């Protein structure tokens, strides 16, 4: 396939459209990178209801290196009511991806464990 000839009107249009498309791809890529760079991401990897009074929650948290986090981990009952909560501090030292195991004492039998939030700093509210 031959390249468009910039000496013709059609060739200039094709080149202008190609440059506009390239600029749009670059802008969208930059925006995507800029809005997700440095974010804290949490993925629950496992949970186990060990008894009526205890639920174990395991999760991976990705964060910028050197960032301390405070995570609110909860156990929920079958109506999605909170039956136990633990605030876990992830220190700033260590790798960017950290695996945490948290045991949550519960007031009633839970059916699931969740990470409600992970915020920068040491105050989860």
pLDDT digits (tens, 9 = 90+) for 61-73: 999 988 999 999 9
- The Cα diameter of the chain in Å comes to 79
Of 70, 99, 104, which Cα lies nearest the Cα of 86?
Answer: 104
The span from the CA of 57 to the CA of 85, in Å, is: 11
Give residue 17's Cα distance to chain centre.
36
Residues 31-43: pLDDT tens digits?
Answer: 766 665 678 999 9
Of 68, 45, 72, which Cα lies nearest the Cα of 57?
Answer: 45
**Statement: the pTM of the whole predicted model exceeds 0.85:** no
């Amino acid at each position: 396939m031959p390249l468009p000839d910039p000496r013709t009107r059609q060739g200039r249009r094709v080149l202008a459209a190609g440059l506009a498309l390239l600029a749009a791809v670059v802008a969208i890529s930059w925006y995507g990178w800029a809005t997700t760079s440095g974010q804290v991401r949490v993925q629950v990897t496992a949970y186990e209801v060990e008894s009526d009074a205890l639920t174990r929650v395991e999760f991976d948290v990705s964060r910028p290196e050197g960032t301390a986090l405070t995570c609110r981990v909860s156990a929920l009952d079958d109506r999605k009511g909170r039956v136990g909560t633990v605030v876990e501090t992830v220190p700033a030292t260590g790798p960017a991806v950290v695996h945490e195991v948290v045991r949550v004492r519960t007031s009633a039998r839970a059916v699931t464990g969740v990470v409600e939030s992970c915020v920068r700093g040491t105050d989860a509210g």
